[in-house]
Amino acid sequence: MIALASLADTAQGIVDTFGIDWPMLIAQAINFLIVALVIWKFAFKNILSTIKEREQQISDSLKNADRIKLELEETEKQQQETLQEASLAAKKNHFLGSRTGQSLNRGPKGRCSKASGGNHLKS
């Protein structure tokens, strides 16, 4: 009991020292709660919903960017394969074409045929 009485005396000393007006303190607390609720209802809810929408847009954009990156890698891989196939086909055609051209332009004993104009010397 002595501790409780001592605590009450300390509280009363603080009130007297700082001049706390209890009715005014309670009125200010109620006003603060009213203002806080109004701000929460009309400002923070809209701001928070806008932030959530923006986070969703960013998340969707990142997923889309990852998907596009994978598609780009796949397209580049297909492009490389196509270029390699075209290169092999070109080399094959060049090799076959040069061999075929040699056999058509050359007559017996390595001389140029009349079809080639006969102007070529034996190589």
CA atoms within a 13 Å half-sphere pointing along the CA-CB vector of 12: 6
d(CA 44, CA 52): 12
The confidence band for 62, taking pLDDT boundaries of 50, 70 and 90, is very high
Q: Determine if the pTM surpasses 0.95.
A: no
Q: Exposed, middle or buried by CB within 10 Å (0-12, 13-18, 19+), for 112?
A: middle
Among 113, 93, 95, smallest CA distance to 104 is for 113
Task: Give the position of tokens 């196939």.
Answer: 85
| pLDDT tens for each residue of 20-39 | 888 999 999 999 999 999 99
**Lowest mean pLDDT segment, chosen from 4-8, 78-82, 89-93:** 4-8
The pLDDT mean for the chain works out to 83
**pLDDT score of 113 more than 70:** no
Do residues 108 and 93 touch, judged by C-beta distance below 8 A?
no
Q: According to the model, what pLDDT value does residue 83 have?
A: 93
